[in-house]
Amino acid sequence: METPVLPKPASHPLWQHQLGLLLESTGEGIFGIDLDGHCMFINRAGAEMLGHERSAVLGRNMHELTHHSHPDGSHYADTDCPIFNAFRRGLPCRIDTEVFWRRDGSAFAVEYSSHPIMDGAQVRGAVITFVDITERRRSALALHQAKEQLGLRVEERTRELSDALSQLRELSAWLDKVREDERTRIAREVHDELGSLLVALKMDVNWIGKRLGEQQERTPEAAENMRTLMRCKCQNMSGLIERAVDNVGRIITDLRPSILDHQGLWAALEWQANEFVQSAELALDWHMEVEPGVELPEAAAIAVFRIFQEMLSNVGRHARAARLEIRIDAADSRLHISVRDDGVGAPARAFEASTAYGVLGMRERARHFGGRIDIESTPGAGSRFSLELPLP
């Protein structure tokens, strides 16, 4: 912007009239000051922003009138004022970090520019243009706060995702360990139970084979005694085979109960509950209501069965209960399973700990099928595990 030059009033009356029209037509505040800082002219927009009548502003020291204090209310010396420096040092400026003060004592954020008025090579004063930027400041502050909040939310979400990923890794490691422990247990049972039975059967078969080879060398009486011994040996082998079949069935049931495939989820849940209370010597309060025809897809049924097993397992490991209440309701497109015990209970944080892998596993299984796990527990007052799952 070129430095304005003040024309001689007597020789340019038309120019002064056009300048007056220009000052009144703009929405920006504009005023001019002399070398003492007194107002020589001000347009209507400027006077209205300052809360003054134009006649009350003319001749007043503009620094003392509207620029006398910093935004915090501290005194603003005119020797530091960029507006006055515009003609004292011939330095134009543009400032948007200060305030102007209104007649009523309130301040507003302002952006102003000051340029010296030149008469040839001589400075006559300065012309100042200013605009109220309160809304701009407010919008900028709101944008800044929104960015900060967004940054905090992103940081919080990132932390949550990081924690969730860490939990999933720990859960995966725990599942791998459980799987390996289960394989080790099955291998031990196969070795200890089936292995010993098969060895005994092999020894009996070898004994029978050897005795059969000696049959022709015996007397009739000895042969009859040997047949009696062989019948006893065969009965013993039959008992060993029955034990082997039972062990195989038990191992298969541990891996996947056949009742789940043959009779469905509801029968499997009832069977599992009765098996558990018998082995744990608990009293059972059983209630199940299922609408006719309600069935779950195979994957969901397996997930529900495993969650139910983990609920019972938690009771067996920690509750030290005497009574178990189980309620199963499948109606109105919702499946609800509740397992309540009268045991020792636990504080809520125990079920939210990162090392509560059984609870994490149940929650992940339920979440995969759109369900949720709720846990209510009070020390000394037992616990209640609930599964809510949408039905197809």
Q: Per DSSP, what are the bridge partners of residue 32?
A: 41, 127
Q: Are strands 372-377 and 383-390 parallel, antiparallel or unpaired?
A: antiparallel
Backbone phi, psi, residue 151, to 5°: -60, -40
Instruction: Please tell me the distance from the alpha carbon of residue 324 to that of residue 339, in angstroms, as a whole number.
Output: 7
Distance of CA 55 to the CA centre of its chain: 64
**DSSP track, 46-57:** HHHHHT--HHHH
pLDDT at 213: 65
Retrieve residue 43's tokens: 């347009």
Q: List all residues 6 or more positions away from 136 whose beta carbon is below 8 Å from its beta carbon.
A: 109
Tens-of-pLDDT digits for all 392 residues of the chain? 444 444 444 445 555 556 667 777 788 999 999 888 899 999 999 999 999 998 999 999 999 999 999 988 899 998 888 888 777 777 788 999 999 999 999 999 999 999 888 877 788 888 999 999 999 989 989 999 999 999 999 999 988 888 878 777 776 777 777 777 777 777 777 666 777 777 777 787 777 777 776 666 666 777 777 778 877 878 888 877 887 777 777 776 666 677 787 888 999 999 989 989 998 899 999 999 998 888 888 889 888 998 998 899 889 888 889 999 999 999 888 999 999 999 998 887 888 776 777 888 888 889 888 999 999 998 888 999 999 999 87
Backbone phi, psi, residue 263, to 5°: -120, -5
Cα–Cα distance list, 68 to 94, 103, 262 (Å): 18, 12, 92
**pLDDT digits 0-9 by tens, 283-299:** 999 999 998 888 888 88
**pLDDT digits 0-9 by tens, 209-265:** 777 766 666 667 777 777 788 778 788 888 778 877 777 777 766 666 777 878 889
Helix (H, G, I), strand (E, B), or coil: what is residue 142? Answer: helix
Selection from 76, 126, 125 nearest residue 97 by Cα: 76
**pLDDT digits 0-9 by tens, 120-160:** 778 888 899 999 999 998 998 999 999 999 999 999 998 88
Q: Per DSSP, what are the bridge partners of residue 287?
A: 327
Residue that is written with structure tokens 């039959």 in the block: 238
Q: List all residues 6 or more positions away from 195 whose beta carbon is below 8 Å from its beta carbon.
A: none
Instruction: Please tell me the distance from the alpha carbon of residue 376 to that of residue 384, in angstroms, as a whole number.
Output: 5
Instruction: Please tell me the distance from the alpha carbon of residue 277 to that of residue 320, in angstroms, as a whole number.
Output: 12
Residue that is written with structure tokens 């196969």 in the block: 190
pTM of the full structure: 0.48
Domains of the chain: 9-132 (3.30.450.20), 140-251 (no CATH), 257-390 (3.30.565.10)
Contact 128, 31 (CB under 8 A): yes
Instruction: Please tell me the distance from the alpha carbon of residue 61 to that of residue 74, in angstroms, as a whole number.
Output: 19
